[in-house]
């Protein structure tokens, strides 16, 4: 007699139970939507609680909070204004320093040209004096320099080697002339920077340089040429003063 088969009812029930707990796609979507709704509800509750904190606050507390915010705002505005003022001050100081430096450089260049320690270039005249008989003296050459200075010459050199400045001395050393202890000979080429027409007129003025050199006393020749650009490259060797010292500017 064959053995009786065991009933399969428990296994079937277990499989059905597991199938019941396996979510379908629609159930998963519903679960996600419910989770989002729950999160939104939590956030809204927190916001409402924060709003309730201000809504339920006393009038005095709200006024204190507003006063605190106003003080912070004023403090920040004051700091911003202070920083802006500091920025403007630094910018102004930099501009003033730059302007002062530029003015100082310009003054140094001007004084350097006057003192003969810097080269110069500009319009002017070139005067060539020939003294074939060697009769020109230091006085003749000094008169020529003074006439050019009176006409507005700003820089003068002779024979391209001697820079004429306020302290330049002229001494007779025939044949020729010694200028600042440097011997120069004919022809004497004087180059001067300034208004070319004024310088030329001063040289050709009756009784002036040209008349003196071409006259019977010297018997030489003089050529005066106006130039649009003259380069003066001879420099004066500046010597240290033994006695004179800078003095403070007089107060007004």
In a structure prediction context, what are the per-residue pLDDT tens digits for the chain, which is 252 residues long?
444 444 444 555 545 545 554 555 555 555 555 555 555 555 555 555 555 555 566 666 666 667 667 777 877 777 788 888 887 777 777 777 777 777 778 778 888 888 888 999 999 999 999 999 888 999 989 988 999 999 999 999 999 999 999 888 899 988 889 998 899 999 999 999 999 999 999 988 888 888 889 988 889 999 999 999 999 999 988 777 777 777 776 665
- Identify whether 171 is part of a domain: yes
pTM greater than 0.75: no
Is residue 197 in a domain? yes
Residue 87: per-residue pLDDT: 79
SS (H, E, C) the chain: CCCCCCCCHHHHHHHHHHHHHCCCHHHHHHHHHHHHHHHHHHHHHHHHHHHHHHHCCCHHHHHHHHHHHHHHHHHHHHHHHHHHHHHHHHHHHHHHHHHHHHHHHHHHHHHHHHHCCCCEEEEEEEEEEECCCCCCCHHHHHHHHHHHHHCCCCEEEECCCEEECCCCCEEECCCCEEECCEEECCCEEEEEECCHHHHHHHHHCCCCHHHHHHCCCCCCEEEEEEEEEEEECCCCCCCCCCCCCCCCCCCC
Instruction: Establish if 177 belongs to a structural domain.
Output: yes
Tell me whether residue 181 is in a domain. yes
Give how many domains the chain has, as a whole number.
Answer: 1
User: Is 73 part of any domain?
Assistant: no
Q: Is residue 92, in this structure, part of any structural domain at all?
A: no
Q: Has residue 168 been placed in a domain?
A: yes
Q: What is the CATH number of the domain that holds 204?
A: 3.30.70.1880
Domain that holds residue 143: 120-232
Please report whether residue 153 resides in a domain: yes
């Amino acid at each position: 007699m064959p053995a009786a088969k065991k009933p399969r009812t428990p296994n079937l029930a277990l499989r059905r139970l597991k199938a019941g707990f396996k979510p379908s796609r629609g159930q998963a979507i519903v679960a996600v939507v419910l989770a989002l709704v729950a999160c939104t509800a939590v956030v809204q509750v927190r916001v409402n609680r924060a709003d309730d904190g201000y809504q339920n606050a006393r009038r005095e507390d709200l006024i204190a909070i507003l006063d605190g915010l106003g003080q912070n705002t004023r403090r920040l505005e004051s700091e911003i204004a202070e920083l802006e003022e500091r920025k403007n001050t630094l910018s102004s100081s930099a501009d003033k320093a730059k302007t002062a430096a530029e003015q100082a450089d310009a003054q140094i260049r001007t004084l350097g040209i006057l003192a003969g320690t810097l080269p110069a270039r500009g319009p002017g005249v070139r005067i060539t004096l020939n003294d074939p008989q060697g009769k020109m003296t230091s006085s003749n050459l000094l008169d020529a320099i003074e006439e050019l200075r009176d006409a507005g010459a700003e820089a003068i050199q002779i024979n391209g080697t001697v820079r004429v400045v306020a302290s330049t001395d002229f001494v007779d050393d025939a044949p020729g002339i010694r200028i600042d202890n440097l011997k120069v000979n004919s022809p004497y080429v004087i180059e001067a920077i300034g208004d070319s027409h004024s310088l030329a007129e001063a040289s050709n003025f009756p009784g002036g340089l040209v008349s003196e050199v071409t006259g019977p006393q010297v018997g030489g020749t003089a050529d005066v040429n106006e130039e649009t650009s003259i380069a003066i490259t001879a420099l004066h060797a500046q010597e240290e003063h033994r006695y004179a010292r800078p003095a403070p500017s007089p107060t007004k």
